[in-house]
Structure 1
Amino acid sequence: MNNLHIKNFIKCGNKNNILIIIISNYYFCYSLAELDYIVFYYIKILNLKSSTINFKNYKFCSCLSISNIVCHGIPVFEKINFLNIKIDIAINYQNKHSDSCINLFKNKKFNFLKKIFLNLIKNIKRNNFFSKIGYLINKIKNSKIYITEEYCSHGIFDKLHNKNIIFHNVNNNKKKIKNFDSFTIEPMFNYGNCSGFFFLNIFVSKKNFYTFQWEHTLFILNKKKIITTIRKIELC
């Protein structure tokens, strides 16, 4: 693989971090629709491109949602009071893509879910079967945490979504994680109730129950696992 392509892919993840950190300073001040315009503004300032605008006819440059109403991408045009927000941004830098998502809380009691997610990533290693990811995700389940198995992680590099589909259920995928593989990890946690419904491929949680999603883009390079979208606060 071309070293320049690798460097640009890793830089793309770094620039996505910068963008999400900037947007995190605005998240309790505006409606989600206004935040999407702010994301678009900074994408232009940073000389990036949105990976989501016009992707399968999607018309926004971010997937923003309020966790106790909906997860995965319907901007709310009203300014409402909410406990937490999901900021999910995918960008294109030098024709390489990065996808990252963060949940921000007013209520800190849900922070333990972020730790569960980061521990999940620690256990993903080269030469594992991709099916192990689904196995690890399903080990998280308990009396209060459920997984939306209809969503999946995906391969990413020259395209936002490539043919590598990583299922979040227990499965028998015998494909191994190998050198130069790049993919996202993005489980959706449901806290309190797994019920909900799908509308236009968007998961809507039941009222007053919560959905959370974190996402990182990973790159396997020799014996290293590079989390291209890792944030400094997550290293502490």
Structure 2
Amino acid sequence: MNIINIKSKEEINKIKLSGKLAFNVLNMIKDYIKPNVSTGYLDDICNEYIINVQNAYPGSLGYLGFPNSICTSVNEVVCHGIPSYKKILKDGDIINIDVVVLKDGFYGDTSKMFFVGKPTILSKRLCYVAEKSLDLAINILKPGLNIKYIGKTIQNFVEKNNFSIVRDYCGHGIGRKLHEFPQILHYSNNNNFILTPGISFTIEPMINSGSNKVKLMNDGWTVKTKDHSLSAQYEHTIIITNNSYEVITI
């Protein structure tokens, strides 16, 4: 049975703090993303910042065995890329950095794309469509909304722009656990769950420049596009309020 976790005002304030901290990590790391830098180095910086500056814990570290503090997904990597000192960024790459912060028992989760050096026209367009699809989905949120319209909104926009949506991964409820009910699908579906005040969740569409098919690599984490096309993702944590919504990872 799926349990819906309606958050109290005190719990919401704690989630909002964790969300703000996660946003601050992404804001901090952007100046370090440049050609010839390793993703392992970026992970080290984020780990130190979360633990020593924010006095929090990197929620990805050790989660179901994940070995690092952030996910670094470069080019054809869709999600859950493992940072490595061997993975050196080069001019023209795109990278998604996914940050989870655990503070006072609650999680905040966000990710965004960064350009390494000068991006290609395709990279810029893909990232624009991915981010815009998230914005469009957020803009329709309100108490009483059937969550199937989140996926429908994303799919309509993405496919109109001739890109595809990964169907193997989804957004999720968040709070004391990183992954809670409900699941947030990013494509048209028949989920009739209704949003109510006090629900907190992520929306995180993964958009491919080619096919939506993906493959899990042998490390058990890294997910890549099956056709080696580029992939882009943006993610926010959101809380439904009495009359509207609040994005807490900005």
What secondary structure is seen at the aligned counterpart in 1 of 2:181?
A: coil
Residue deviations 1:146-201 (CA, integer Å, cap 9, x gap): 00011111000111111321223322212100110000000100013334422335
Aligned counterpart in structure 1 of residue 106 of structure 2, from 96, 99, 106: 96
| Structure 2 residue 94 is the aligned partner of structure 1 residue 84 | yes
What secondary structure is seen at the aligned counterpart in 1 of 2:32?
A: coil
Distance in 1 between the 2:21 and 2:151 partners?
A: 28
What secondary structure is seen at the aligned counterpart in 2 of 1:25?
A: helix
Distance in 1 between the 2:83 and 2:227 partners?
A: 17
Give matches, 1:1-236, under 5 Å. Answer: 1-28=7-34, 30-44=37-51, 45-69=53-77, 71-78=79-86, 79-81=88-90, 82-105=92-115, 106-107=118-119, 108-113=124-129, 114-139=131-156, 140-142=158-160, 144-199=162-217, 200=220, 202-206=222-226, 209-230=229-250
CA pair 168-25 structure 1, distance change in 2 beyond 3 A: same
Residue deviations 1:122-169 (CA, integer Å, cap 9, x gap): 122221112222222221214631000111110001111113212233
Is contact 2:22–2:249 with CA below 8 Å preserved after alignment? yes
Query: Displacement of 1:69 after TM fit?
Result: 4.7
Structure 1 gaps, min length 5: 231-236
Is contact 1:91–1:99 with CA below 8 Å preserved after alignment? yes
| Deviates further, 54-63 or 22-31 | 22-31
Residue identity opposite 1:112 in structure 2:
Y
Distance in 2 between the 1:136 and 1:229 partners?
A: 21
Is contact 1:69–1:207 with CA below 8 Å preserved after alignment? no
Distance in 2 between the 1:84 and 1:171 partners?
A: 30
Is contact 1:103–1:212 with CA below 8 Å preserved after alignment? yes
CA pair 134-111 structure 1, distance change in 2 beyond 3 A: closer
TM-score (norm 1): 0.89
What secondary structure is seen at the aligned counterpart in 2 of 1:120?
A: helix
| Deviates further, 18-27 or 112-121 | 112-121
Is contact 2:112–2:233 with CA below 8 Å preserved after alignment? yes
Residue deviations 1:105-132 (CA, integer Å, cap 9, x gap): 2324444222232122112222111222
Aligned length: 230
Query: Displacement of 1:18 after TM fit?
Result: 1.1
CA pair 9-195 structure 1, distance change in 2 beyond 3 A: closer
Distance in 1 between the 2:23 and 2:168 partners?
A: 27
Structure 2 gaps, min length 5: 1-6
Residue deviations 1:9-28 (CA, integer Å, cap 9, x gap): 11211111111100111111
TM-score (norm 2): 0.84
What secondary structure is seen at the aligned counterpart in 2 of 1:97?
A: strand
CA pair 149-70 structure 1, distance change in 2 beyond 3 A: closer
Query: Displacement of 1:206 after TM fit?
Result: 4.6
| Deviates further, 83-92 or 70-79 | 70-79
2:4 matched to which residue of 1? none
CA pair 69-97 structure 1, distance change in 2 beyond 3 A: closer
Query: Displacement of 1:7 after TM fit?
Result: 1.5
CA pair 116-12 structure 1, distance change in 2 beyond 3 A: same
Residue identity opposite 1:9 in structure 2:
I
